[in-house]
Each structure stands twice: as structure tokens, then as C-alpha cells.
Structure 1
Amino acid sequence: MSLTTDFIAELIRAANEADKLNPFEIKRLLNRAVATIRDMREQTGIPGSNRAKDVVIDLQIAAARADALAADEIRDNLLDAADIIRTLKIILDGKPE
């Protein structure tokens, strides 16, 4: 498996155990996801957005509020991150070099 695939699996596992994560772990995962998404967007040529609807902004806000998030909010944010990263991986895997 690739590092990206491993990270997607890590995000999904963490989402399934959202109630057991501490704020530090949540912040670490969400901040890693933000960095990964930005890097992958750059590789694909897909621009980010400075609009409020950009998932990266949502993930950054969630990371900043990690100690106040409910377990379902943690789960949803981690799954959103995994979904975006998976989608970008599919795009990158299909991109001609």
C-alpha cells in the first residue's frame, strides 16, 4: 500500500473510534489531512478555494476546535478528509505523467 492509502485507512479507523480520540490526536490527523489535500491539489492542478465552502477551511476550523467537537463531528470531519484524499488519489493515479 502507498503512504496515501495508509493515511486514508488511518483516517477511517480513527473515525470509527472518534469517541476514543483525544484533542491532540484529532488536531494531528486533521492538520495532516489539510496538508495532504493541499499537496495533492497542487499535484493535480486543482485549485483550492478561499471561499467558506472549501473543505480545507472546514477541516482547519475543526482542528482548531478539536477539544470542543462531539464524537459525530469528529467522525464526519475525518471521513470527509478521507473521502477528499481518496478522490484526489484516484485523479492522480489516472493522470498521465
Structure 2
Amino acid sequence: MSTTTDFIAELIRAVNDIEKLTHYEVSRLLDRSIDTIRDMRRHTGDAGIHSVRDVLADLRLSSERVQDLSAEQVRDALVDAADVLRSLKIVLDRTE
């Protein structure tokens, strides 16, 4: 498996064990997601996609406000991150 695939799996595991995670751990996962998405966007040339920019803004807000989020909101943010990463990985795999 690739590093991206491993990270997507890590995000999904976190969703399934959300009650075991601390606020700090969730924030770190979201921050790593943001960094990885930005890096992958540079490689795909899709830096201007509006919806990805919106997801990044939502992920940043979720990371900063993680203590105020419900478990369902945290799950949604982690699933969104995994979904964007999966989509970008598919695009990258096609171009290689």
C-alpha cells in the first residue's frame, strides 16, 4: 500500500474509534489531512478546484474548533478528509 492509502485507512480507523481519540489526536489528523491534500493538489494540477478549497477551509475550522464539535461532526470531518484524499489518489494514479 502507498503512504496515502495507509493514511486514508488511518482516518477510517479513527472514524470507527472516534470515542477513543483525544481532541489533540483529532486535530493532528485533520492538520495532516490538510497538508496532504494541498500537496496532492499540487501534483494533480487541480489547485483551483473550488470544492476542494471549501473542504480545506472546513477541515481547518474543524481542527481549530475540535473541542466544540460533537462526535458526529468530527466523524464527518474525518470522512470528508478521507474522501478528498481518495479522489485525489485516483487522479494521481491515472496520471502515472
* 1:18-97 map, 5 Å: 18-48=18-48, 54-96=54-96
> What are the ranges of 5 or more consecutive residues in structure 2 without an aligned counterpart?
none
In the alignment, structure 1 segments of 5+ residues that lack a partner are none
Count of residue pairs brought into register by the alignment: 95
SS of match in other structure, 2:35: helix
TM-score in terms of structure 2 length: 0.92
SS in 2 for 1:54: helix
Structure 1 outlier segments of 4+, above 3 Å: 48-51
Paired-residue identity, %:
53
CA distance in 2, matches of 1:71, 1:77: 10
The structure in which a higher percent of residues are helix is 2
Deviation for aligned residue 1:49: 6.1
Residues in 1 aligned to 2:67 and 2:48: alpha-carbon distance in whole angstroms: 27
Contact 1:11 1:82 in 2 (8 A): yes
Over aligned residues, Cα RMSD in angstroms? 1.6
Counterpart of 2:12 in structure 1 is 12
Q: Deviations over 1:34-64 (max 9, x none)?
A: 000000001000024688x710000000000
